[in-house]
């Protein structure tokens, strides 16, 4: 989120502007800012590929459309274009599906220095251990999966009026999963599952909305063991069940 002007640019600005507007930096351009987490160096459009595309896909993973899941594969195809367009629409930007300075500028405002979205933290997504170890995937994979889920939640939070979403927990090691009686194949063991607690949105409100934000697994009221939270996660094939919510 922290945006720093590059020093040569700052020097030029200082000559002509007596009081740089610290509270409102104004429009950002790819060349004039660096972000503490990640800085894009080029405009990205359909046909592009690379790690910068993959970084973009993580940030717009919450905008695949109803029932969709955006691939985080570094290939800017039609699905990525549609997700970028929905992100732009959600934030009142020019919606052309091309990620340039305005889109990146909004992402910089939405991300913390550790690359998590401003309203969610790694600590919330892991109440099990300190290092993301002991699950069904390597620790780095579990943490990376949690990051994608957080960006999906950020999209969902914005769509529901930017009210806080309560996170009860996320990643579990096998030991943590066994301790709470979790299923043997629980997505919590992979880091992408998140249990959402009681908040203004209601459990069914969360479950219903989650269908729009890239969660292939949604379990809520009506599904055994889910009367007191809504569970959202990634998985290879869709499984939604919250019969008390009409899902
Ligand atoms: Zn769960």
pLDDT tens readout for residues 190-245: 999 999 999 999 999 999 999 999 999 999 999 999 999 999 999 999 999 999 99
Residue 26 CA from chain centroid, whole number:
24
Q: Is the pLDDT of residue 155 over 80?
A: yes
Environment of ion ligand 1 (residues, CB < 5 A): 193, 195, 231
Q: Where in the chain is the domain with CATH 1.10.101.10?
A: 9-110
Ligand 1 geometric centre to CA of 111 (Å): 25
Fold of 9-110: Muramoyl-pentapeptide Carboxypeptidase; domain 1 (1.10.101)
Tokens 């889910």 belong to 226
Ligand 1 geometric centre to CA of 186 (Å): 8
Ligand 1 geometric centre to CA of 179 (Å): 13
Q: Where in the chain is the domain with CATH 3.30.1380.10?
A: 122-245
Ligand 1 geometric centre to CA of 62 (Å): 19
Give the per-residue pLDDT at 145.
Answer: 98
Residues with a catalytic annotation lie at: 226
The pTM of this model reads: 0.88
The DSSP annotation for the chain comes to --EEE-HHHHHHHHHH-SS--SS---S--TTTEEESS----S-B-TT-BSHHHHHHHHHTTT-S-TT-----SSB--HHHHHHHHHHHHHTT---SS-B-HHHHHHHHHHB-TTSSBTT--HHHH--S-SS--SSSS-HHHHHHHHHHHHHHHHHHHHHTTS----EEE----HHHHHHTT--TT-GGGGT--EEE-S-TT-HHHHHHHHTTTT-SEEE-TTSTT-SS-EEEE--SS-EEE-GGGT-
Fold of 122-245: Muramoyl-pentapeptide Carboxypeptidase; domain 2 (3.30.1380)
């Amino acid at each position: 989120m922290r945006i720093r002007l590059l020093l040569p640019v700052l020097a030029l600005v200082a000559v002509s502007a007596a009081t740089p507007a610290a509270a409102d930096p104004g429009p950002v351009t790819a060349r004039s800012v660096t972000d503490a987490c990640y800085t894009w160096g080029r405009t990205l459009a359909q046909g592009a590929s690379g790690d910068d595309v993959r970084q973009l896909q993580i940030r717009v993973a919450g905008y695949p459309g109803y029932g969709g899941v955006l691939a985080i594969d570094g290939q800017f195809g039609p699905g990525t274009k549609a997700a970028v367009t929905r992100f732009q629409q959600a934030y009142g930007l020019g919606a052309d599906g091309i990620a340039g300075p305005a889109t990146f500028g909004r992402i910089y405002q939405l991300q913390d220095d550790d690359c998590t979205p401003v309203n969610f933290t790694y600590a919330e997504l892991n109440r099990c251990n300190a290092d993301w170890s002991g699950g069904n995937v390597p620790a780095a994979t579990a943490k990376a999966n949690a990051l994608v889920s957080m960006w999906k939640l950020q999209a969902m939070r914005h769509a529901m009026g930017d009210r806080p979403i309560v996170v009860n927990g996320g990643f579990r090691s096998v030991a943590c999963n066994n301790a709470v009686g979790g299923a043997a194949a629980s997505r919590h063991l992979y880091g992408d599952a998140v249990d959402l607690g009681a908040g203004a949105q209601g459990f069914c409100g969360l479950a219903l909305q989650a269908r729009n934000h890239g969660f292939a697994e949604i379990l809520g009221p009506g599904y055994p063991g889910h009367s007191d939270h809504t569970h959202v996660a990634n998985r290879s094939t869709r499984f939604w069940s919250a019969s008390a919510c009409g899902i």
